Amino acid sequence: MTYRRYHGSCHCQAVRYEAGFDLSDGTNRCNCSICSKARAWFLFVRGDAFQLLAGEEHLGSYRWQPPGQAEPFLDYRFCLRCGIRVFATGEWDRMGGRFYALHVPTVDDVDREELVNAPLNFIDNAHDRPDRAPADTRLM
C-alpha cells in the first residue's frame, strides 16, 4: 500500500475533508474512557496532509483533560448537525507537530479490502500504556 489522498465527510455532509495517509501504517482502537464511549477507530494524519474542505462552522469541539495530564491533549471535533465525530486534533512531537486522528468510518473513498487488510493496532491508554495492546481486546 502507498500514500494517497482520500476524502471523507460526516453523515449529513456538512463537514467534508481531504487527507493523505498510507493505510499500511494501520488503524487504531484505544481503550481510554473517551475512546471506549465513542467506540473510536482512528488513523493518524500529519497536519500538513489534512485539509478541511467544508463545514468549519458546523464543527463542535470537546476538550477533555485525562487524569494526570496538565492540560487537554486533544480537541475532539464533531458535526453539530448530525453528531458524527469526524476527527480529533492536537500537537504531538512524534507526528511533527499538528496532527489529526481521523475517525476511520468517515473516510468515504477508501477501498474496503484495503481497509480490511490494513494493520489494526490496539492501544492500552486505559492503563497509560500506549506502547502495548491491552490483555483483552475483544470488545474494542
The binding site for Zn ion (CB under 5 A) comprises 10, 12, 14, 79, 81-82
Cell numbers representing residue 11 in the block: 453523515
Q: Where are the alpha helices (DSSP H) in the chain?
A: 33-38, 112-117
* Shortest distance in whole angstroms from residue 74 CB to Zn ion: 20
Residue nearer to Zn ion on the CB measure, 12 or 38: 12
Residue nearer to Zn ion on the CB measure, 62 or 73: 62
SS3 37: helix
* Shortest distance in whole angstroms from residue 17 CB to Zn ion: 12
Residue nearer to Zn ion on the CB measure, 26 or 83: 83
Backbone angles phi, psi at 95, to 5 degrees: -100, 10
Residue 102: Cβ-neighbour burial (10 angstroms; 0-12, 13-18, 19+) = buried
* Shortest distance in whole angstroms from residue 33 CB to Zn ion: 24
* Shortest distance in whole angstroms from residue 107 CB to Zn ion: 15
Calculate the alpha carbon distances from 3 to 23, 48, 54, 115 in Å.
7, 14, 23, 13
Residue nearer to Zn ion on the CB measure, 32 or 55: 55
